[in-house]
């Protein structure tokens, strides 16, 4: 039986490995309780199955090897794949049973990838794609048209309207004044890029010229920052030029419904607009971590648990009786049976 002074050897369960320190430890029964001196830290291994989704579009190196906690694999786009965004190659790390998501995004040509590829005549149109590219007879305002199937390369001038983005007819400014509503006339103080402005309230008929963006770059939303490659390599960016941005420290990328591979990109180009990097209408969405977002982020030690979250994470290796365990790391619906 287990009497006072009895000992047991503690090891990580199958699928887990000791992270630092000894691979095994001994605990002692003292007056009916196991002592709490054992500080064995067990981390889950990753699996080859987690790499399977990448094998079609990425070259992975090394191809084989251990998959213990902190094991790494480097991913590059296959020669037949398209490099959609991110660095040319990216190293993912196994962290307690899960690999990081790669910042390098690769895909094969498709009619929904947001890139002109394959036999397409335009972005996701023409060639083998069912969608026709813009023309002057498709009933849609597209390409460089100034209206529906009129203006610019279509040749046929567009009839004046209050929504065509052009100063024409009896308008006193773009789409306002004359027979159009006067209250929609742009100004140089409305915090919008409108009228003949070259940027937000600058250039054109505004007295103030548009300013360049200077490092350290200011963004319209603090959830974003310029990537490291732009943080120190450039002292200034001209108005209208682009700069790569990413989620700022303390924020994470929130991925909703994925319509194309570009939705997975961890960086995106944003434009310098009158001294500020405009991040208002990006595909990349950055949010503050919360304890109910369904993602393990911030200081959480699991999905929406641990760290600063009120809910503690439950595991079979934490040395604590929690969750629906019947004993320390045993029993209950999800754990190994307890021994007598």
Average pLDDT over residues 251-258: 85
Summarised one tens digit per residue, pLDDT across range 144-196 is 787 888 888 888 888 888 877 777 888 877 788 888 887 778 889 888 888 78
Question: If you count DSSP H runs as helices and E runs as strands, how many of each does the chain have, helices first?
Answer: 2, 19
Could you tell me the pTM of the whole model? 0.60
Q: Report the pLDDT value the prediction gives residue 200, as an integer from 0 to 100.
A: 92
> Average pLDDT of the chain?
84
Torsional class of 119: left (φ above 0), alpha (ψ -120 to 50), beta (otherwise): alpha
Residue 329 confidence (pLDDT) above 80: no
Q: Report the pLDDT value the prediction gives residue 75, as an integer from 0 to 100.
A: 97
Domains of the chain: 7-44 (no CATH), 48-107 (2.10.70.10), 159-209 (no CATH), 211-288 (2.10.70), 291-340 (no CATH)
| Residues above pLDDT 90, as percent of the chain | 34
Q: Report the pLDDT value the prediction gives residue 287, as an integer from 0 to 100.
A: 92
Q: Which of 292, 213, 209, 215 is nearest to 254 (CA)?
A: 292
- Which has more confidence, 228 or 52? 52
Residue 231 confidence (pLDDT) above 60: no
Residue 232 confidence (pLDDT) above 50: no
Concatenate the DSSP letters of all residues of 241-283 into one string: -EEEEEEPTT-EE---S-SSGGGG-S-EEEEEETTEEE-TT-S
Summarised one tens digit per residue, pLDDT across range 8-33 is 888 888 889 888 767 788 888 888 88
Summarised one tens digit per residue, pLDDT across range 120-143 is 877 788 888 888 777 787 777 777
- Which has more confidence, 47 or 298? 47
Cα atoms found within 13 Å of the Cα of residue 262, Cβ hemisphere only: 12
Q: Which residues contact 162 (CB under 8 A, 6 or more apart)?
A: 171, 175, 176, 179, 180, 181, 184
| Residues above pLDDT 70, as percent of the chain | 89
- Which has more confidence, 60 or 38? 60
Residue 336 confidence (pLDDT) above 60: no
Residue 301 confidence (pLDDT) above 70: yes
Q: Which of 108, 105, 101 is nearest to 89 (CA)?
A: 105
Residue 6 confidence (pLDDT) above 50: yes
Summarised one tens digit per residue, pLDDT across range 52-85 is 999 999 999 999 999 999 999 999 999 989 898 8
Residue 229 confidence (pLDDT) above 70: no
Q: How far apart are CA 267 and CA 83, in angstroms?
A: 13
Task: Catalogue the long-range contacts made by 110-113 (C-beta closer than 8 Å, 24 or more residues apart).
Answer: 112/259, 112/260, 113/82, 113/84, 113/260, 113/261, 113/262
Copy the structure tokens of residue 98.
Answer: 């899960």
């Amino acid at each position: 039986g287990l009497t006072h002074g009895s000992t047991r050897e503690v090891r990580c369960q199958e699928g887990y490995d000791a992270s630092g320190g000894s691979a095994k430890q001994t605990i002692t029964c003292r007056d009916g309780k196991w002592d709490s001196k054992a500080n064995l830290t067990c981390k889950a291994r990753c699996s080859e199955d987690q790499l399977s989704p990448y094998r079609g579009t990425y070259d992975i190196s090394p191809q084989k090897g251990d998959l213990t906690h902190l094991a790494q694999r480097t991913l590059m786009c296959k020669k037949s794949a398209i490099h959609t965004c991110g660095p040319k190659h990216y190293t993912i790390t196994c962290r307690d049973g899960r690999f990081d998501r790669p910042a390098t995004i690769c895909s094969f040509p498709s009619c929904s990838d947001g890139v002109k590829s394959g036999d397409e005549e335009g972005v996701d149109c023409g060639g083998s794609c069912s969608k026709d590219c813009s023309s002057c007879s498709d009933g849609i305002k597209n390409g460089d048209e100034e209206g529906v199937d009129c203006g610019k390369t279509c040749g046929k001038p567009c009839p004046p309207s209050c929504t065509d983005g052009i100063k024409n007819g009896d308008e006193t400014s773009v789409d306002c004044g004359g027979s159009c509503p006067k209250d929609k006339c742009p100004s140089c103080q409305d915090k919008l890029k409108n009228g003949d402005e070259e940027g937000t309230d600058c250039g054109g008929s505004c007295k103030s010229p548009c300013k360049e963006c200077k490092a350290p770059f200011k963004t319209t939303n603090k959830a974003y920052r310029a990537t490291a490659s732009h943080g120190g390599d450039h002292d200034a960016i001209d108005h209208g030029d682009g700069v790569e941005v990413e989620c700022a420290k303390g924020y994470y990328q929130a991925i909703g419904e994925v319509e194309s591979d570009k939705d997975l990109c961890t960086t995106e180009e944003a434009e310098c607009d009158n001294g500020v990097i405009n991040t208002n209408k990006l595909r990349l969405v950055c949010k503050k971590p919360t304890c109910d977002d369904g993602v393990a982020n911030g200081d959480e030690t699991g999905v929406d648990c641990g760290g600063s979250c009120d809910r503690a994470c439950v595991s079979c290796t934490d040395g604590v009786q929690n969750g629906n365990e019947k004993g320390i790391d045993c029993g209950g619906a999800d754990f190994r049976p307890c021994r007598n």
